[in-house]
A = this chain, B = another copy of it.
Amino acid sequence: MGNRIHNAAYQSKVMSAEDAAALVNDGDMIGVSGFTGSGYPKAVPIALAARAKALHAAGTPFRVSLSTGASTAPELDGELADANAVNFRTPYQSDPETRKKINTGEIQYADIHLSHIAPQFRNGFHGRMNLAIIELTAIKADGSLVPSSSIGNNQAWLDIADKVIFEVNSWQSEDLEGMHDILGGIKQVPLDFAIPIYHSGDRPGSKYLTVDPAKVIAVVENDTPDRNSPFKPLDDVSKSIAGHLLDFLDLEEKAGRLPNPMPAMQSGVGNVANAVLAGLLHGQFENLTSYTEVIQDGMVDLIDAGKLEVASATAFSLSPEYAAKMNDNAKFYREKIILRNQEVSNNPEVIRRLGVIAMNGMIEADLYGNVNSTHIMGSRMQNGIGGSGDFARNAALTVFVSPSVAKGGAISAIVPMVSHVDHTEHDTDLVITEYGVADLRGKSPRQRVSEMIKVAHPDYRAMLQDYYDVAVKVANGQHTPHDLSQALSWHQRMLSTGTMKA
């Protein structure tokens, strides 16, 4: 473990993860670092989970509330959920163990727009934040705090938490120093300044996080790598969805509806996003920029190829191979990549100003363009809305992508009525499946129906048309015709028979 704590005052606070975990109190609201499996604390949470288990075995209650940047990893969400040590969780997760406990009802989960959570804490909506646990790459001699592979809400948590524990992780490359741009001075509203970003590459902030040193109660050393899920080879369905989007953008540019160079793109994580990035690598678009949440493998390739000028995000979400490449070449990439506070990466002001093209995954969409990103059959939480609402509402072009079916065809991603709404019909411009692009722009709800049926799986097209034909006959109004007795019947059938097929 290399020594990364070059400041004497912080050096004097170094202790073991176990000793640091002992400073956490039952009932604490804890703000932790971590975003899509990068930059989360890796030692204290494990020690805390062990402590919680021991306390529970002794009959002593011990549970905390956790607020992160976004999803973390097994060492944090997984361990603590498994130890029954989490009472409340916000704003986003994708951990199997946490998901299980949310859906058994053991964890209360508040699923919150990623740009809203820090302002909500500043406004006191979640009570006091008792403690922050934040991963760093290094502490410099003058006390400067070098962030690691994600920023998320770190600066907000350092601003508002009563006490702070740092984990200094020597697996992270010291050359990350200079990749971050931390905008300070964000307080409880009203603010009296604009977010001074007019291009994805602007760097109005500082390279370092800041904290009142008096709040720091422990510093823990560590060298565990980020989670970094391996890259899945691109499948045909994802490639075909990506192809439809790229063809569409090409036509839009030719029609003068998209400026050249293309406005900054935001892309959610997952297979389709990777396929889009791969498609861009071999396509004709140049001088690309990203204003997005996470840096994925494909963006690194686009930077290497000279096609992506700059990528602004709040975190890495890389495969182990690309994480190693990033760590080896951070000096080069820090000129092209900027990691910002998530209040800034996801800020409606900047998203709207830049005219971002937003592309996110979905669970299902309905005939009228309402989108469900979070719930399986209306009740069961998958991950959360994440930043998709920040982007979908404020982007210049809002795109949702999904394979047309899930679970081997038993579930249609296009349904009569979605079982939960995360993105309303007012927000959806395009829905893309492997069958093409449903272009909902400038259309009334009824005009959207044929577009949506076109992109449904052929097995479900006649069923959708039948639903609509009956709805038109029985509805109490022709704006958004629904047959309320059948609107959710596909979901009910799935729950009772295991397939949406009649």
Residues 352 to 404 of chain A near chain B (Cβ within 8 Å): 352-355, 370, 375-381, 385, 389, 393-394, 396-397
Interface residue SS majority, chain A? loop
Does any Cβ of B come within 8 Å of A492's Cβ? yes
Residues 42 to 77 of chain A near chain B (Cβ within 8 Å): none
Q: In the complex the two chains form, is A378's CB within 8 Å of B484's CB? A: yes
Does any Cβ of B come within 8 Å of A407's Cβ? no
Q: Give the size of the chain A interface in residues (CB under 8 angstroms).
A: 90
* Residues of B close to A488: CB separation below 8 A: 484, 487-488
* Residues of B close to A255: CB separation below 8 A: 124
Chain B residue at minimum C-beta to C-beta distance from A113 = B426
Does any Cβ of B come within 8 Å of A465's Cβ? no
Alpha-carbon distance A385/B195, docked complex (angstroms): 28
Q: A113-B426, A422-B424 are in contact. Are A377 and B190 (CB under 8 A)?
A: no
A120 partner, pick from B116, B127, B348, B442, beta carbons under 8 A: B442
Residues 407 to 458 of chain A near chain B (Cβ within 8 Å): 419-427, 429, 441-444, 446-447
Segment at the B interface, from A144-152, A161-169, A171-179, A256-264: A256-264
A424 partner, pick from B102, B191, B256, B389, beta carbons under 8 A: B389
A379 partner, pick from B123, B126, B421, B482, beta carbons under 8 A: B482
Does any Cβ of B come within 8 Å of A305's Cβ? no
Chain B residue at minimum C-beta to C-beta distance from A107 = B444
Q: Nearest Cβ in chain B — how far from A479, in angstroms?
A: 4
* Residues of B close to A189: CB separation below 8 A: 259, 263, 352-355, 396
Alpha-carbon distance A20/B277, docked complex (angstroms): 52
Q: A349-B352, A421-B421 are in contact. Are A396 and B108 (CB under 8 A)?
A: no
Chain B residue at minimum C-beta to C-beta distance from A291 = B190
Does any Cβ of B come within 8 Å of A327's Cβ? no
